[in-house]
Structure 1
């Protein structure tokens, strides 16, 4: 894409009063943006109507600055930054099947990743709560790691919580190449949330960052539900790890189902608010999953590598984890010290020492309010 072509695409995508549906109709009627802007007002009015003609030809004072910034971004990226327009050979074919595919996709990733073969790889979206339990974060990380290790690209949204854990898990996979794609709700010259700046940098080095929004776009609330159609559009299914009943992750699951994709959900404790959304999805027909093998069973065209047999891990209490009295007393629900004392009969000081040991071994997580939660390992 040369500078003049980029200017025309930016002009069309930034025109006030023209949404994705109208833009697609304009392109279907008149062809590429360069052809659209060769028309005068009278010709555009005859073909598109007065309102769209006015919107297309209205002055855009910010366009020169946006064009300069975007062109400099492309050149400074030295091949790691890409802009894909509809019809570009690099544009993901799966997005052409979703409602209102973005006119432009901005991407950042390794130079050798920009090839049409990237979009032919199997992919699964992993989403969930921004405030997950420690077990939820571990589940997201472990599922993503196992999927990426078997050549499945993990797609998520770079948000706090489950999204971040999924990206981190995928980045830990030993396979070379792109293991994760982050679809963000800002321009790619911004990172939201700010604490994921380092994660975004590592994804740009070993994965792909994608956005439909121009450079400089701030994190506006309505952008995040809107970008979810791209997130699940790139994947063959969506896995919801933890979600409350009002979670935005349920919107992503609904969009995935509307696109004809599979929806998976991990069940959780019946009293946990973050299990309610997953349980609701399961009642509505989502597949209950406990391991990645449950996902591979649904996608029989994916080839799964058998997992190695589980090896019993020892805790510092000197016995198998399954035999540790404190872990057994924790069970599968968060518990406080009084509850653990009643179940074990141990003095509070001894319990505190043992819980600290188990925390250091990443077998127990301390929760707000003084409760503790057992962390189950895959």
Structure 2
């Protein structure tokens, strides 16, 4: 009986989701004196009195029950499938604070993560190696300090943020611009499997919904809405990441940005955010000091000590690394800077690459980690 009652309430919220153009504020005001069953039992005159438009009244009178049953069946298929409506216990409190919260969420994985403290990492799909490494390392450090990492599952920065969190055996939430069962981009298939096994994928779009351009700005408001703050790792001036930052500002969330080369167009969005008041982030401490009640100070201390030790070893003991830029540097230039034979330079570059301190590109090598 309890399951039937839950299904009935969920069915009503799925019916509400079919009403196009319904303002959340309007619905919540009605729910102060009418339950959803009472609302759907109302006649057309009463519905008009509540402020519903003719096309909305027509939808209420002709609910697609077959679609509701399809979605309920999807939830019943597997214990990891969840339909989370506005009145569900699992519905995230932070999301209720935004101006246009989704009335229903579809999720696969661990829904309790939605109410845990989290930070969003966002950035360019065509990310530089420098940006990819920053996303990975910051996500890893955030999870080591007890925070969930939230991102949009896109190629580039998003994917590396999810991977960094998983590398540290931490938790990550992927907010999709598709249905929760649709993997986009396809090359993220293995990452998707790892996230649903030990994290959460969530969407306001029903199962089976394919990617559409207009879905992703809507997804971005959820990414920022779920989070305590948004870290923009790398972004151009016109990008979805700046849309997410704009939502974060409207939602009174913290905004952070990582600086980079003034010559890289993928950094100009971050620099603009910093000029407008976003906090410039160089280390994990820069971010966590704005979220002191959510940081595990013991872990932070250990992370700082380990970083300091590693940095001293890595950055002061290798002359080649000191002479390698954060932008692509050619072999010829490195030979000239170090005044060493080519074979010796290549040997050192291989060692540094195996340590994960540099990466090879088509034009040479690039340094990945900061001092």
Q: 2:364 aligns with which of 359, 366, 371?
A: 371
Corresponding position: 1:87 with 2:116: no
**Is it true that 1:48 corresponds to 2:43 in the alignment?**
no
User: What are the residue-to-residue correspondences of 1:1-378 with 2, within 5 Å?
Assistant: 2-15=6-19, 18-21=20-23, 24-29=25-30, 31-57=34-60, 59=62, 63-78=64-79, 80-110=80-110, 114-115=111-112, 118-174=113-169, 179-303=171-295, 304-305=297-298, 306=301, 307=303, 308-309=305-306, 310-312=308-310, 321-346=315-340, 348=342, 351-368=345-362, 370-376=363-369
Cα drift, residue 159 of structure 1? 1.0
- Equivalent-residue separation in structure 1 for 2:61 and 2:241 (angstroms): 38
Q: Is the 8 A contact 2:91 2:115 kept in 1?
A: no
2:311 and 2:27 mapped to 1: Cα distance? 62
- Residue 213 of structure 1: how far off its partner (Å): 0.8
- Per the TM alignment, residue 34 of structure 1 is displaced from its structure 2 partner at its CA by 2.6
Distance 1:208 1:353 in 2: 42
Offset of residue 66 of structure 1 = 2.5
Q: Is the 8 A contact 1:20 1:100 kept in 2?
A: no
The 8 Å contact of residues 130 and 326 in structure 2, kept in 1 or not, is answered as: no
Alpha-carbon separation, structure 2, partners of 1:150 and 1:26: 39
Q: TM-score, with normalisation over the residues of structure 2?
A: 0.87
Structure 1 gap segments, 5+ residues each: none
The structural deviation recorded for 1:49 is 4.9
Q: CA deviation at 1:71?
A: 1.8
Structure 1 window deviating more from structure 2 (355-364 vs 137-146): it is: 355-364
Q: TM-score by structure 1 length? A: 0.86
Partner of 1:189: helix, strand, or coil? coil
Instruction: Decide whether the 8 Å contact of 2:18 with 2:59 is kept in 1.
Output: no
In 2, Cα distance between equivalents of 1:49 and 1:135: 51
**Paired residue total:** 359
SS in 2 for 1:298: coil
SS at match of 1:163: helix
Once the two structures are superposed, residues 91-135 of structure 1 have per-residue CA deviations (whole angstroms, 9 ceiling, x without a partner) of: 11111110111110112214xxx45xx455321111111121112
Per-residue Cα deviation, 1:264-312 (whole angstroms, up to 9, x for no partner):
1111122222221111111111111111111122222233221234334
Helix, strand or coil for the counterpart of 1:311?
helix
Structure with bigger helix share is 2
Q: 1:206 to 1:158 in 2, by over 3 A?
A: same
Structure 1 residue 57 displacement after superposition: 3.8
Q: In the alignment, is the contact (CA less than 8 A) between 1:12 and 1:56 conserved in 2?
A: no
Alpha carbons 2:316, 2:322 under 8 Å: kept: yes
Alpha-carbon spacing, 1:257–1:49, altered in 2? closer, same or farther (3 Å): closer
Of 129-138 and 349-358, more deviation after overlay is shown by: 349-358
Q: Distance in 1 between matches of 2:333 and 2:353?
A: 18
Deviation, 1:349, is: 5.6
Distance 1:172 1:214 in 2: 29
